[in-house]
Amino acid sequence: RGANVSPSALLFDLARGDASPFWPQFTGRAVLPLADFGALLANWRAEAPRATITELFDRIAADINYKAYLDDGTEEGAERWENVQELRRLTVEYESRPLTEFLENVALISDQDTLTEGQNAPTLLTLHAAKGLEF
């Protein structure tokens, strides 16, 4: 906090372990998970130029064990995992396009875009969405 270091740069640097100048500033149990995540980010970043979007998506989901995290055996957990699978299906549509294009387009998709006509439910709009600030 207060340093002119981006969070991603800090994580990449912490991945170097005690060779990082930031290592002594973190204590106890916090430093190892941060360093591990920094190493994951570095690996994904290195793999991104040669992997397809779907391959990268699958690798990230597997590396962080995202299915186990989301799908806790409840109906809500299964729905959360199905949302992730829907996002994965979208990656296939962007196989021949750049990752940045996929991310830009996915960021523009909202629940508002997926509403079905005639659904017997109210539509809510936040002030942030009305101003175009919701992202």
Q: Is the dihedral of CA 6, 90, 62, 81 positive or negative?
A: positive
What domain range is 95 assigned to?
49-107
pLDDT in tens, 65-117: 999 999 889 999 999 999 999 999 999 998 888 888 888 888 776 555 555 66
Same domain, yes or no, for 33 and 7? yes
Mean pLDDT of 1-30: 63
Distances (CA, A) of 19 to 13, 14, 100: 8, 8, 32
Q: For the segment 29-78, what is each residue's pLDDT rounded down to a tens digit?
A: 776 777 788 888 889 989 988 999 999 999 999 999 999 999 889 999 99
Residue 53 lies in a domain: yes
Alpha-carbon gap, residue 53 to 95, rounded angstroms: 6
Does the residue 128 lie in any domain?
A: no
What is the CB-side half-sphere exposure of residue 58 using CA atoms within 13 A? 8
The verdict on residue 83 lying in a domain is yes
> Are residues 74 and 59 part of one domain?
yes
Q: How many domains does the chain have?
A: 2
Instruction: Give CA separation, 73 vs 26, 66, 116, in Å.
Output: 35, 14, 28
Tell me, yes or no, whether 88 lies in a domain.
Answer: yes
* 26 and 76 belong to one structural domain: no
